[in-house]
Amino acid sequence: MELVLQNFQFLLTGAYYTLLITIVSMFFGLIIGMVVAIARLKGNWLISNLAKGYVSIIRGTPILVQIFIIYYGLPDYGITLGPLTAAFISLSINIGAYLSETFRGAILSVPKGQTEAALSLGLTPWQTMRRVVLPQAARVAIPPMGNTFIGMLKETSLVSVVTVTELLRSAQLLIAQYYVAMPFYIAIAIMYWVMSMFFSYILDRIESRLSKAY
């Protein structure tokens, strides 16, 4: 493990990019997921079916293919993106589709009587959604969202194929330099596990607070 210690700073830089990609993609994925979920539930026939089609396409195709389309395919049409930008976009679009189903199920789990009561008190549909439905749906959505977030953390390793120097790519570069694989793979496995445990702890705390609040 001496080589790992000598190059630990380099691996930490890779871990930083892994965390950056995860957090940014999750942030935009949350926005996409919420918009798509509401579009499916509250939109007209056209908007609802467009949202449904988006979810079907993204969930029905491998994420690696989606990364290739964004990074290698778009230049055919004059759109060239940097590796990091392509990673953000492809992972955000992917995670947004999965989160939309999580949000949709959580919103549907809120009893209709609560919506009807809020509307009868004079709240607008938007106020009802924001003040009554979404806070309750959030409590239901947090556990599956946590699993999705942890999955996203590990799926960032796929963007190494477009030369983003995240954690896996960092290890691959060191392996190519030293011709030794096992110590570096063990090291990044531990680092992925530590990051996963950290986020699991944070999400458990959030879930616990929401449970006490409602």
Q: Give the domain range for residue 99.
A: 2-213
CATH, residue 91: 1.10.3720.10
Single pTM value for the model: 0.86
Question: Do 107 and 137 form a contact (C-beta atoms < 8 A)?
Answer: yes
Number of compact structural domains in the chain: 1
pLDDT in tens, 157-213: 999 988 898 999 999 999 999 999 999 999 999 999 999 998 888 888 877 776 665
For the stretch 83-95, pLDDT in tens is 999 999 999 999 9
Name which of 134-138, 149-153, 171-175 the model is least confident about: 134-138
